[in-house]
């Protein structure tokens, strides 16, 4: 384990915090391209190039999207942003009707706080919901595998009362809520997982 002195040396010479973060991003990518292409079943050419889209497909939750524009290859995160200058309407598709069934996976230990204050955005710009349940062996974008409570959003009620809902390219449903919160009154039902016996609650 590094001591404080070792950490400090990494930032000497004028504040290299931003550079350190970029370096940290490059290390796992380097490891994949140098050593793990075969393990990940990436089609690597003889000159060691792989297609960027093939690399991103290895992300089971499909967190990224690519766009080729005027000869430039652009990349973005599909959701989970904390950068406030990005407008939801510019990169997310609005949900105009109650066709999707948004489900929020959480934990029993969080329920007291949720009943008191609703679902909060925390450090992100949106509250996240998934479009499916965490079945065994399947990765569901917007939901962790080890959750033990499911919260279903009442889409009809949220839309009628003016809450904006969006869906990302990888099928995560997002909302800014009202005042950065999704109040309990917009919960349609709550179930433990995997038992799925309805939990009684009042808004």
Tens of pLDDT along the chain (203 residues) come to 444 443 434 444 444 555 666 677 677 777 877 777 788 888 878 887 888 777 776 665 566 666 666 776 666 665 544 444 455 555 678 887 777 789 999 999 999 999 999 999 877 678 989 887 877 555 566 688 889 999 999 999 999 999 999 888 778 888 989 988 999 999 999 999 988 888 888 87
Domain 15-77 classification at class level: mainly alpha
Peptide bond into 67 cis (omega under 30): no
Are the beta carbons of 118 and 181 closer than 8 angstroms? yes
Buried b (16+ CB within 10 A) or exposed e, 80-108: bbeeeeeebeebbeebeebebebbbbbee
pLDDT confidence of residue 55: 75
| pTM score, whole prediction | 0.59
Provide CATH 3.20.170.30 ranges for the chain.
88-192
CA count, 13 A, side-chain hemisphere, 86: 15
SS3 content of the chain, % helix, strand, coil (to 5): 25, 20, 50
Report, at the CATH architecture level, how domain 88-192 is classified: Alpha-Beta Barrel (3.20)
* Cβ atoms < 10 Å from Cβ of 74: 10
What does the alpha-carbon distance between residue 174 and residue 168 come to, in Å, rounded to a whole number?
Answer: 8
Provide CATH 1.10.10 ranges for the chain.
15-77
Are the beta carbons of 159 and 165 closer than 8 angstroms? yes
Nearest to 79 by CA among 158, 143, 145, 150: 143
In the block, tokens 């997002």 appear at 174
The neighbouring-strand residues paired with 150 are 105, 191
């Amino acid at each position: 384990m590094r001591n404080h002195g070792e950490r400090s040396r990494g930032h000497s010479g004028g504040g290299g915090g931003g550079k350190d973060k970029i370096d940290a991003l490059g290390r796992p990518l380097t490891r994949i391209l140098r050593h793990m292409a075969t393990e990940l079943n990436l089609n690597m050419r003889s000159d060691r190039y792989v297609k960027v889209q093939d690399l991103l497909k290895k992300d089971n939750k499909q967190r990224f999207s690519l766009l080729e524009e005027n000869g430039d290859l652009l990349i973005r995160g599909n959701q989970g942003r904390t950068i406030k200058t990005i407008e939801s309407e510019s990169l997310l598709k609005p949900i105009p009707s109650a066709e999707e069934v948004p489900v929020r996976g959480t934990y029993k230990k969080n329920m007291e706080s949720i009943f008191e204050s609703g679902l909060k955005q925390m450090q992100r710009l949106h509250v996240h919901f998934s479009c499916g349940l965490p079945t065994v062996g399947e990765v569901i974008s917007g939901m962790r595998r080890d959750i033990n409570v499911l919260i279903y959003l009442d889409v009809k009620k949220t839309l009628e009362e003016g809450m904006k809902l969006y869906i990302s390219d990888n099928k995560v449903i997002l909302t800014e809520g009202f005042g950065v919160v999704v109040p309990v009154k917009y919960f349609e039902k709550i179930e433990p997982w995997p038992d799925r016996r309805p939990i009684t609650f009042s808004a």
